[in-house]
Homo-oligomer: A and B are copies of this chain.
């Protein structure tokens, strides 16, 4: 591996290009020089940090009772991080450092751990890749937009996508153009048609949630990813893969209860092999930015994520972060790093394998319930293989009042079902909430993937215990029966 990524700095925004290094920061080359008293920076003394030590109780790998098992004396590990380096075990981020003004890219110990993890899982193709820390993918996405787009630009997104990500885009005055998806993610042939007939400059980036897509629950196959990547190379745009759900990949759904028992992964190698390869793992040119996060695998409130991509582009994020977020919380860095160093790479894989088992089970219960309680005459669904979400598609023309009360308007049927379901005791999100509208003046016909009279609802099996999940889905099933006048 001596391959270099392409120089893609022409894709940077005016804002990103204009960010300068300050002469003040350049003074820091003298910091720590022997014989020099550095009176340059307004840093408080670590003696004034009122934390001498922080510690945490965490579960011990390999998590035999499952990752949600209560932490007891038998499976408990205590981690401790002291203010001073000399009181700590190896590879800790002492509080004197984590609670001081910090390295914008994140402290070396946790960055090194995540780089090692990234090598193991994604095996980046080119050499000069880098990894910088963020305060989560929401912020990383906002920073990405500021780094590559300007007001008035257009970007490509999946035709249904995470509404919060869309709000980030819209408020920046950037337009979104929808690319058709199906249950296997973005459809390369339809995307190719859009690109071939595009008028004006091609958008500089595609935003995609390739694995366990929000809201559709779809996951892109390797073949699809390769085809989309080829389009990115041909038309010179970046792929931003937002991958919070990557490790919530599950076993395939089956109704065969015996087969369910047999299908768990048995080793770290088997686990890694079972993961669908990421965009970054096929990225020879350095045009993929991978947004990764602990939110779905450790805890959302850690507000800690990271970006993987080519060094030259990530350097522009650092200049932005220096004058915005600065760096993730030092408490987060010390305690997350403490956990990771205690678990090691293999312990962390044990945890991820445990997550896979949990989500597989929750997904199974959800799909079993849909199968049991939903009127199969009007719904269709594909059991997801990753993420937190499932969707149920509904043919609105089968609604008895479709042509009458609802004026043949699927949106009205959607609203009626939404309200009926709340009445019956279950809330799922109407698919239209995630629909991407193209820029008002676009000259291109939007290629529509689905039938216009199909609607869908997004549900999750992540947020509630299994019994509540079953009750909720039974209630949603009732609502559908009431609306569609079934039994």
Q: Are A52 and B43 in contact (CB under 8 A)?
A: no
Q: Are B55 and A55 in contact (CB under 8 A)?
A: yes
A485 on interface, CB distance cutoff 8 Å: no
Binds B, one of A114-122, A255-263, A331-339: A331-339
Residue among A38, A98, A426 with the most chain B CB within 10 A?
A: A38
A149 CB to closest chain B CB, in angstroms? 13
- Given known A323-B171, A427-B27, contact A38–B463 (CB-CB < 8 A): yes
How many copies of this chain does the complex contain?
2
Q: Are A136 and B326 in contact (CB under 8 A)?
A: yes
> Complex Cα distance A437/B325, Å?
25
A302 on interface, CB distance cutoff 8 Å: yes
Q: Are A15 and B320 in contact (CB under 8 A)?
A: no
Q: Are B462 and A45 in contact (CB under 8 A)?
A: yes
Provide the main secondary structure of the chain A interface. Answer: mixed
A169 CB to closest chain B CB, in angstroms? 9
Interchain CB contact (< 8 A) of A41 among B20, B51, B319, B463 = B463
Q: A333: which B residues are within 8 A, CB to CB? A: 301
Q: Are A15 and B433 in contact (CB under 8 A)?
A: no
Binds B, one of A186-194, A292-300, A371-379, A443-451: A292-300
Digitize A27-48: 1 where CB-to-B-CB distance is under 8 Å, 0 elsewhere: 1001000011111111111011
Q: Are B325 and A42 in contact (CB under 8 A)?
A: no
Q: A164: which B residues are within 8 A, CB to CB? A: 22, 24, 322-323
> Complex Cα distance A446/B419, Å?
63
Q: A299: which B residues are within 8 A, CB to CB? A: 44, 48-51, 95, 99-100, 330
A274 on interface, CB distance cutoff 8 Å: no
Q: Are A323 and B51 in contact (CB under 8 A)?
A: no
Closest 10 CB pairs of A and B: A37-B472, A301-B330, A329-B329, A99-B301, A99-B299, A47-B68, A331-B331, A52-B71, A39-B459, A168-B323
Query: Can you identify 10 A-B contacts, CB atoms within 8 angstroms?
Result: A38-B463, A41-B460, A45-B68, A47-B68, A48-B68, A52-B59, A52-B76, A55-B56, A135-B135, A301-B327
A residues near B (Cβ < 8 Å) are 14-16, 18-20, 22-24, 27, 30, 35-45, 47-59, 67-68, 71, 76, 95, 97-102, 135-136, 138-139, 142, 151, 163-165, 167-168, 170-173, 214, 295-296, 298-304, 319-320, 322-333, 335, 339, 351, 355, 358, 388-389, 422, 425-429, 433-434, 459-465, 468-469, 471-473, 475-476
